[in-house]
Amino acid sequence: MVKNMNFYQIVTLALLGVFYIAYFLKAVGLKRQAINVNLLGKGDKPRKALVIESFLRFITPVSAVIQFGSAIFPGIVWSFTEVLAIRIAGMMLLLCGNSIFIAAMVTMRSNWRAGFNSNQKTSLVTKGIYQFSRNPAFVGFDFLYVGCAAVFPNIFNIAIALACVILFHLQILQEEKFCAEVFGKEYEGYKAKTMRYVGKRGRISEWLNVRAL
């Protein structure tokens, strides 16, 4: 079967495999420490958060099936015209998404969770990759989903990528409220320095000031 696959299929399957295996191994490792990683749609939290997390709990495994299916059987569903530059950009996004996501998991250590719960015992992580993004794991997810849709632009891959990017953003907004309540001034200070997705506020302000001179 591998002999009949092209470069894009093989590399995409490898990167998707690394991504999901890394997630699985992290979950298993924390479970051995009696830590429940998957809190999506569970626990005492606002109704809006429960709804968003319930959608995420359903759509993420579905998206994995679509991503792997798109790479293994690229011609099975209607696809848009493949553009070389876009496919190469998609491969880069896949690679970056993997790297960012794994770096986020490693940095979080035992604080890693999918979703949030008022009873969870975690610390606010602001070191490593979290110095440059408050949500690097979600950035990694976004890159992976958009990258896969760029490499294999079928209607299902694109639709699932758009849906997940929107849901991830809504989830981030809910988690920010949770962090503000739990960590208080510590989180507000972190929020004032580090951007939601990418960047440090102080450095951006300095760059803008320099450009204005």
Contacts of 60 (CB under 8 A, 6+ apart): 164
Contacts of 38 (CB under 8 A, 6+ apart): 27, 57, 114, 115
Please report which confidence band the pLDDT of residue 97 belongs to, taking 50, 70 and 90 as the band edges. Answer: very high
C-alpha 18/C-alpha 29 separation (Å) is: 16
Residue type, 175: E
pLDDT for 30 beyond 50: yes
User: Greatest CA separation found in the chain?
Assistant: 60
Please report which confidence band the pLDDT of residue 2 belongs to, taking 50, 70 and 90 as the band edges. Answer: low
Residue type, 26: K
Domain limits, the chain: 2-212
pLDDT for 25 beyond 50: yes
pLDDT for 210 beyond 60: no
Please report which confidence band the pLDDT of residue 212 belongs to, taking 50, 70 and 90 as the band edges. Answer: very low
Q: How high is the mean pLDDT of the chain? A: 89
Element holding 142 (H helix, E strand): helix 136-151
Question: Which CATH number does 2-212 carry?
Answer: 1.20.120.1630
Q: Decide: 94 and 15 in contact? Cβ < 8 Å.
A: yes
pLDDT for 22 beyond 80: yes
C-alpha 211/C-alpha 182 separation (Å) is: 38
Residue of 203, 195, 11, 201 lying closest to 95 (CA atoms): 11
Please report which confidence band the pLDDT of residue 44 belongs to, taking 50, 70 and 90 as the band edges. Answer: confident
Phi and psi dihedrals of 153, rounded to 5? -80, 60
pLDDT for 46 beyond 90: no
C-alpha 58/C-alpha 180 separation (Å) is: 27
Please report which confidence band the pLDDT of residue 157 belongs to, taking 50, 70 and 90 as the band edges. Answer: very high
What's the rounded mean pLDDT across residues 84-88? 95
Residue of 95, 106, 102, 101 lying closest to 12 (CA atoms): 95
Phi and psi dihedrals of 8, rounded to 5? -65, -40
Please report which confidence band the pLDDT of residue 213 belongs to, taking 50, 70 and 90 as the band edges. Answer: very low
